[in-house]
């Protein structure tokens, strides 16, 4: 049963993490978890604040003898990415996560786990609840909507928090300390289409792209994983030329910050081309499986007979869509010139959906350099505009510029070396941590990010390594003991 994780060590973290998995908390639907955290803080006698946007702040005074230490903010986000396999019956707004132990890992049955960032929030709760951990003044900052816009961080008001050291616990490789991150911007593409009536002599199919692993559109972008939106579009673009394929409906991808794993389209074509089309699908699947055999070996491309739709998307819009998507920059755009194994700039074509006369496409561009972020976003916009789309940008957020002279960085490197016998790696992460946004409001903060090892975040394969949770917790306690004096 899923509550077996309550027996894992350290129990202080796992019990709180389990309680978080039982409360629905998809991004922008955090009402229940906000109320839970507010009640939890008040029930423990802590000063508890819920700000206008829904961020929860819980404050705890220093333990005796630690009053002269600098104040620490333990930060994580309350929301989680709602991703599931298509065969799983799960409502992220109502159902708890079905958690279980799989060898050295904790994972979930067919859905995202929410270790991103339930682990960070659970660790903050464990520190707050303990009466035996020495620490200076502690504030837990639990933000909302990190995964779909960082609106919690963006709308955090100055003056609510007193500390000057921010420890973000939203990183996903134990033994690494992060001192910088990429910024990002969303490109929102819209095609308006008219419907054309379908007449006789037509065969209808549902094209399905499935079996891809997907993953985090920043952390996993360098792995070259298959993108379901692009694979489906490639199939349809070629089939439109070869067999007269017409698109009736498309539903590809689901989240702006996840590499799309599944894609579906309802299409029609002349009946006389049916056998050739099915042969083409089989050959295409074979070729694509060969392309992705190492990274996505379970890729499948299927064409199933479908009910004949009443209408299809007009030819001009279909052509603009297929060509716009085919020419959209995707994946790694630039590597960091000073750190060749670090991605500097990337884009992820994440979602394509048609409904009621409109096709909406979402692309997320990330970069450690804001000017590069904007340049690539403009290139994407210009591409789609050239094929007849309307394009806007939204949700731009800055990168977090590294501070190599960070005092808390030096403290944490020394503490980790003393505790585990090696110096942790110091890195910049190609993901959108909230530190850059928060640091723009609280300019006095010395910031750092770390966490346990989490694999395949933003996908149903998400899992957290049990042993690294223990190390993460032990490291956090040693940090709190060694926070510099004011």
Positions annotated as catalytic residues are 79, 146
Pairing, β 165-168 against β 446-449: parallel
DSSP E strand boundaries for 403-453: 425-429, 446-449
Using left for φ > 0, alpha for ψ between -120 and 50, and beta otherwise, residue 429 falls in beta
Q: Residue 287: beta bridge partners?
A: none
Nearest to 222 by CA among 437, 470, 431: 431
- Order across the sheet with 446-449: list the strands: 47-50, 56-60, 138-143, 72-77, 165-168, 446-449, 176-181, 425-429
Burial of 314 (0-12, 13-18, 19+ CB in 10 A): middle
Nearest to 219 by CA among 342, 398, 77, 370: 342
User: Which tokens hold the place of 197?
Assistant: 């009536």
| Contact call for residues 247 and 236 (beta carbons, < 8 A) | yes
DSSP string, 410-448: HHHHHHHHHHHSSPPEEEEESS--THHHHHHHSTT-EEE
Rounded to an integer, what distance in angstroms lies between the CA atom of residue 46 and that of residue 8? 27
User: Which tokens hold the place of 2?
Assistant: 């899923």
**What's the N-to-C CA distance of the chain in angstroms?**
47
User: Which tokens hold the place of 168?
Assistant: 């973000």
């Amino acid at each position: 049963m899923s509550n077996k994780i309550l027996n894992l060590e350290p129990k202080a973290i796992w019990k709180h993490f389990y309680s978080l998995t039982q409360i629905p908390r998809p991004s922008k639907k955090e009402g229940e978890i906000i109320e839970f955290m507010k009640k939890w803080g008040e029930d423990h006698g802590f000063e508890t604040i819920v700000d206008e946007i829904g961020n929860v702040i819980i404050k705890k005074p220093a333990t005796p003898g630690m009053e002269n230490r600098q104040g620490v903010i333990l930060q994580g986000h309350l929301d989680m990415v709602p991703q599931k396999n298509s065969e799983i019956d799960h409502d992220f707004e109502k159902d708890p996560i079905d958690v279980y132990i799989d060898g050295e890992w904790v994972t979930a049955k067919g859905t995202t786990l929410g270790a991103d960032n339930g682990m960070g929030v659970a660790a903050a709760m464990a520190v707050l609840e303990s009466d035996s951990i020495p620490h200076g003044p502690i504030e837990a900052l639990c933000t909302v909507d990190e995964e779909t816009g960082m609106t919690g961080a963006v709308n955090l008001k100055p003056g609510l928090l007193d500390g000057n050291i921010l420890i973000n616990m939203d990183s996903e490789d134990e033994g690494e300390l992060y001192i910088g991150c990429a910024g990002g911007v969303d490109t929102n593409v819209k095609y308006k289409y008219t419907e054309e009536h379908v007449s006789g002599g037509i065969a209808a199919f549902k094209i399905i792209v499935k079996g891809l692993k997907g993953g985090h559109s920043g952390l996993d972008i360098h792995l070259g994983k298959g993108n379901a939106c692009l694979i489906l579009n490639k199939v349809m673009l070629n089939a439109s030329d070869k067999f007269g394929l017409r698109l009736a409906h498309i539903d590809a991808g689901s989240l702006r910050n996840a590499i799309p794993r599944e894609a579906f389209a309802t299409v029609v074509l002349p009946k006389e081309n049916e056998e050739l089309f099915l042969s083409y699908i089989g050959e295409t699947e074979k070729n694509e499986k060969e392309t992705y055999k190492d990274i996505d070996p379970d890729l499948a491309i299927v064409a199933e007979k479908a009910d004949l739709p009443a209408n299809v998307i007009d030819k001009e819009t279909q052509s603009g869509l297929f060509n716009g998507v085919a020419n959209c920059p995707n994946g790694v755009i630039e590597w960091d010139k000073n750190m060749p194994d670090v991605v500097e700039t990337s884009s992820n074509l994440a979602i394509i959906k048609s409904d009621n006369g409109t096709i909406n496409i979402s692309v997320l561009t990330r970069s450690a350099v804001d000017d590069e972020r904007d340049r690539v976003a403009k290139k994407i916009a210009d591409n789609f505009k050239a094929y007849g789309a309307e394009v806007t940008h939204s949700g731009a957020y800055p990168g977090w510029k590294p501070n190599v002279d960070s005092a808390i960085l030096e403290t944490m490197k020394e503490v980790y070396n003393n505790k585990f016998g090696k110096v942790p790696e110091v890195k910049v992460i190609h993901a959108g941590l909230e530190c850059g946004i928060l640091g723009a409001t609280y300019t006095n903060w010395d910031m750092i990010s770390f966490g346990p090892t989490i694999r395949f975040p933003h996908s149903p394969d998400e899992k957290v390594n049990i042993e690294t949770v223990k190390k993460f917790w032990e490291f956090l306690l040693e940090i709190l003991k060694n926070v510099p004096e004011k």
